[in-house]
Chains A and B, each alone.
Chain A
């Protein structure tokens, strides 16, 4: 069942089109990734779905509620973690969580218990009484995620949750996202970290200049770029003279050398490896590894969008051009 359904969503600011007829859906229980460079429309999409911007045209529904007419009902079931922590600097961690719960009408006893539990769960119990302004970037981000789930939302919108924070905190946040998803929360994640999307997301949409250029599961996206099946076999040294006889024995397969110790077999159809293994056994050669070669999501992204990933990361993190 779709928890988010977006049809022909367009958002214009004067002459500038931030989102151009964007359509997609998010299935209940999945981690859906929105991958794209700076200014692609990722945050605008989240803002349109959560009620922070008005749609120019098109429609969007979250949990069955219209994002324009029924936005207040939709907001009850959504949690939002913006790209910059927006909690109150004057409050401590506990007060921030308790206040956020109060915004959803949670009674005092319940919200205080929930705040304590979340501080514990996010490893912030000791920092709970420290003012938010004294938190590190990583701690701030974790508390902001905690604030986003204080009311047990059905869907959590995470806008660049690991950008600009240390490696350990980023790893913890990714772990928290996976745990939340295992407990049934649908996750809508925007990121410019390709490896993050690859590791976390069930389905991914590539968005560039306000348009979705491709959408699918990891397998679907990769299949689109690599039509052939490629298997790499790692053997002992001195196999370069084997190529002609191997090619002769398997005419339907393209044989390529991959260095001194490896051979790649390429075929448009799935390959049966048993005869290949027998071939090497007959030559008295041991096969140490057989690996299905797949393109990385990075290669897929670059091929589909034509955008250099390193440049995209540097732009987002404000490092400028190399």
Chain B
């Protein structure tokens, strides 16, 4: 019970101090609109909003969570307020779960902003919402942990941003959202399959447009494996680098 009081207060503190700040809220609104507009301009005629939805949702989560977590953690490390959390009598796994929960929730909310926009523009019937929710959750978890990996690797906030892009931009083109994995050159395919976003995007494609190429169960199991593996790796990195 005592640990949960701490968990809840860490989550609320992060929500209030970072995620519910106007710049982050506007990011959640501007990002999907900008992506949709970009594809609209590229096509020259118009876009199938439903076709775009898996990509815009995935990228909203990826960009939202990695940016926010990497920057806020680096900021807290710089100001030494993160030390206060490390000095609290909380198990490190539990503490990191509390710290990442805010970013995961932020990612989930970000994912549904484009869905809300899309509901005014296209028919969303026939979508498997349960698997969409599962995929959104697991993409948010893996992207958040990627943000944590970045935070542990850098010291300055600007480094966090630069390092995030190093991972994010290749992911956009390799995860099968805009270029199907089957259409990628064979030497790039293995790279695509080591990215968790590939499996999350595939679930979204299957659930929204029935055009995924891997089975749902396989995708979910692999994403779950990625989540657990990345969490264990993050804890190891925190212990190695922040409790030195």
Give the docked Cα–Cα distance between A13 and B16 (Å).
Answer: 37
Which residue of chain A is the closest to B95 with respect to CB atoms? Answer: A103
Across the interface, do A88 and B5 meet the contact criterion of CB distance under 8 Å? no
Chain B, interface SS category: helix
Across the interface, do A80 and B87 meet the contact criterion of CB distance under 8 Å? yes
Q: Does A175 contact B (CB under 8 A)?
A: no
Across the interface, do A86 and B80 meet the contact criterion of CB distance under 8 Å? yes
Across the interface, do A51 and B87 meet the contact criterion of CB distance under 8 Å? yes
Known: A86-B79, A99-B9, A102-B9. A52 touches B89 (CB 8 A): no
How many of chain B's residues have a CB under 8 angstroms from any CB in A? 25
Q: Does A278 contact B (CB under 8 A)?
A: no
Across the interface, do B243 and A100 meet the contact criterion of CB distance under 8 Å? no
Across the interface, do B9 and A76 meet the contact criterion of CB distance under 8 Å? no
Known: A75-B88, A104-B2. A87 touches B9 (CB 8 A): no
Q: Which residues from B are CB-within-8-Å of A52?
A: 83, 86-87, 243
Across the interface, do A100 and B84 meet the contact criterion of CB distance under 8 Å? yes
Which residue of chain B is the closest to A50 with respect to CB atoms? Answer: B87
Quick one: which of A71-116 are within 8 Å of B by CB?
Answer: 72-73, 75-76, 80, 82, 84, 86-91, 99-100, 102-107
Which chain A residues have a beta carbon within 8 Å of chain B's beta carbons?
A: 13, 50-54, 72-73, 75-76, 80, 82, 84, 86-91, 99-100, 102-107, 147
User: What are 29 sample pairs from A and B whose C-beta atoms fall under 8 A apart?
Assistant: A51-B243, A52-B83, A52-B87, A53-B244, A54-B243, A54-B244, A72-B89, A72-B90, A73-B89, A75-B89, A80-B87, A82-B80, A84-B80, A87-B84, A88-B17, A89-B79, A90-B16, A90-B17, A99-B9, A99-B13, A102-B5, A102-B8, A103-B10, A104-B6, A104-B88, A104-B89, A105-B3, A107-B5, A147-B84
Known: A52-B87, A102-B6, A104-B88. 16 other contacts (CB 8 A): A51-B87, A52-B86, A52-B243, A53-B243, A72-B89, A75-B87, A82-B80, A84-B80, A86-B84, A88-B17, A88-B81, A91-B17, A102-B8, A103-B10, A103-B84, A103-B88
Which chain B residues have a beta carbon within 8 Å of chain A's beta carbons?
A: 1-3, 5-6, 8-10, 13, 16-17, 79-81, 83-91, 243-244
